[in-house]
Chains A and B, each alone.
Chain A
Amino acid sequence: MALSQADVLAGIKEIVEEVAGIPAASIELNKSFTDDLEVDSLSMVEVVVACEERFGVKIPDEKVTELATVGDAVNFIVNAAA
């Protein structure tokens, strides 16, 4: 099922707010999970698993380290779901 970039971004915002308490309004495509949003390594695992469940995609562990920004994650998920 194709997902739009906007849908995925909205979903990630909800997940990051739920897991890390970051207000959705401050979550943008160019924000780094670790440097800007202060999502630590354990919480990042939660974000990844929640994304997998929500969007029905697999995010392999070796890919997670490549998802530095919210935009990286959005693009990965959109492509994986395509």
Chain B
Amino acid sequence: MSQRRVVVTGLGVTTPIGGDVATTWKALLAGQSGVRLLTEDWRELLPVHFAARVAVEPADQMERVEMRRLDRSEQFALIASREAWKDAGSPDDIDKERLGVVIASGIGGVITLLDQFDILKEKGARSVSPHTVPMLMPNGPAANVGLELQAKAGVHTPVSACASGAEAIGYAYEMIKSNRADIIVAGGVEAAIHQLPMAAFAQMKALSTRNENPAAASRPYDIDRDGFVLGEGGGVLILEEYECAKARGAKIYCEIAGQGLTSDGYHIAAPDPDGGGVQRAIKFALANSGLSTKDVVHLNAHATSTPAGDVAEANALRKALGADADHVAVSATKSMTGHLLGGAGAIESVFIVKALQERLAPPTINIENLDPAVTVDVVRGTPRALPAGDIAALNDSFGFGGHNVVLAFKSL
């Protein structure tokens, strides 16, 4: 049997800058921030008063009765999956035993868990919703999408904190490569804008506290960055075996050529300043893809806007790509979307697919003074054209726990 190849045939998102791919991509190219002051009273209890909520509420995209049985993260998964499935031409005729779902979440249904605990304390055990467990389980987003599409090749949820979304896409890639499935609905979601997770991240000193100017708070690579901005939403890609996609006449965006996975073995939350794990993940992804550093023209960076993380990553990119880093347009789109945790690697993979399609690298906003320690070529302010011909792009994602995931995409 010849080597199976994996292509992308559909995209879907719901993000802080748009309720679908077209709106989000337009806002991304325009450099719009999705970060806003929270409207809830509880913001005053926290040192951080802002976040990046989705631009379009799920209530405007799905039915009330369906919503009340779903955690917000599950709502995001269904919204993004429905868009992606439709974008892929709704291949409902596929053998369901060859259809899988891999959708990740970093934290799972944390809002449901905390809300139901409030109900337990206030009204007693009998008032706790019988839907609580299916709503809070981290595999709930994947399971609900799997049920809707009747996927029977396997429904999975890799969890690796903020690398989860990228790891899900990598897992889906492996499922197709190893002939377990022909089509996978793959991605990541997160819905954790609630006072408890925000207080907890704030206690780690991980969040920006730029309350006086929320839209300028997420500023990867800027010398005055002071932490990440919590975002919510999700992204989904339809991955498909190349011959299967061709046979049904699907629109093919690009190829997922390979992935690299490593772990730091360094610290539960801090990045390894040496960046050895990141470098190895990049090298593995390129080797796995049959690509060289010369082929890479674009990279969507993890770059969350934390003081330590951005520089550690940039150093690792420079070391791994060497002189070829000079022709890699690096975009830090969290400057606009905030950090979607388990959804980050997924929406950023969608952005890479769009960048390869339109040959445009999205900008990084809010860089007033580039940190001189950053030695990669950051796309600032406005989008940058990518070259014609055969090109490749990378997405890197890292998670608390020392997880490193790099996905390699190439044009077809």
Contacts and interface: CB of A to CB of B under 8 A. Distances in A.
B65 A46 contact: no
B129 A46 contact: yes
Contacts of A49: 126-127
B131 A21 contact: no
Interface string A34-54: 000000001101100100100
A20 interface: yes
Categorize the interface residue count of chain B.
10 to 19
Contacts of B248: none
Contacts, number: 20
B81 to A, nearest CB: 21
Contacts of B64: 21
A45 B130 contact: yes
A42 B63 contact: no
A4 B257 CA distance: 68
Contact of A20 (B65, B126, B127): B65
Contacts of B126: 49, 52
Contacts of A21: 63-66
Interface string B118-154: 0000000011011100100000000000000000000
Interface residues of A, number: 9
Contacts of B69: 42-43
A21 B68 CA distance: 10
Contacts of A43: 69, 130
A20 B65 CA distance: 6
A66 B69 CA distance: 25
Contact of A46 (B63, B130, B134): B130
Nearest to A46: B130
Interface string A44-75: 01100100100000000000000000000000
Contacts of A20: 65
A43 B65 CA distance: 11
A37 to B, nearest CB: 12
Query: Which 3 residue pairs spanning A and B have beta carbons closest together?
Result: A21-B65, A45-B130, A42-B130
Given A19-B65, A21-B65, A49-B127, 10 more contacts: A20-B65, A21-B63, A21-B64, A42-B69, A42-B130, A42-B131, A42-B134, A46-B129, A46-B130, A46-B131
